[in-house]
Amino acid sequence: MKDFAERLRTAAIKRRVGPETILLVEDDLAVREMTCDILCRSRYLVLTAESERQALKAWERFALHIDLLWTDAMIPYRSTGLDLARKFRRSKPKLKIVFTSGFGAEICAGVPALTGGLFLPKPFTAAALLRTIANSLNAEEESPNEFN
């Protein structure tokens, strides 16, 4: 257990100062809970949503505080992660965004906006998750037009 905790801390090195807030949009309960647990243990503040509707409600209340959108590329019931990214970027152009999907690169490769940004295929390890989050938060400004 100590080795796992040490690997989590090591993966989270180079984080910015302060607890960043992540909006985690994932329809699979097990993946959502696991991802939330890993992020919370690494001292991120996490808001979770299982659908577009819940994500939009969280955004309405907390948009000013959200630093990063972590979203499944495929969200059931009317929307996609790319749709959410576009909506949220309209009101917050500097929002950091990471996409994930269990469908992998072969499905997502047809959507340049997904593969052009940070993308983490499922399944992923805790270290890969934390490294991807840190890379996104520490990255230079992303182009606000990359999701157009």
- Could you list the pLDDT tens digit for every one of the 148 residues in the chain? 556 555 555 544 444 557 899 999 999 999 999 999 999 999 999 999 999 999 999 999 999 999 999 999 887 766 788 889 889 999 999 999 999 988 755 555 556 555 556 888 889 999 999 999 999 999 876 554 455 5
**Tell me, which fold does domain 2-138 have in CATH?**
Rossmann fold (3.40.50)
Strand pairing of 45-49 and 68-72? unpaired
Residue 108 has φ and ψ, to the nearest 5°, of: -75, -15
pLDDT tens, position by position, 48-73 = 999 999 999 999 999 999 999 999 98
Domain boundaries, the chain: 2-138
The reported pLDDT for the residue numbered 113 is 59
Among residues 28, 18, 30, the alpha carbon closest in space to that of 101 is found at 28
The reported pLDDT for the residue numbered 148 is 52
Contact 76, 27 (CB under 8 A): yes
Among residues 23, 16, 31, the alpha carbon closest in space to that of 98 is found at 23
Distance CA 141, CA 117 (A): 12
Among residues 109, 107, 51, the alpha carbon closest in space to that of 79 is found at 51
Measured CA to CA in angstroms, residue 126 lies from 12, 44, 138 at distances of 10, 14, 18
Helix (H), strand (E), coil (C) string for 8-22:
HHHHCCCCCCCCCEE
pLDDT tens, position by position, 81-98 = 888 988 999 999 999 999
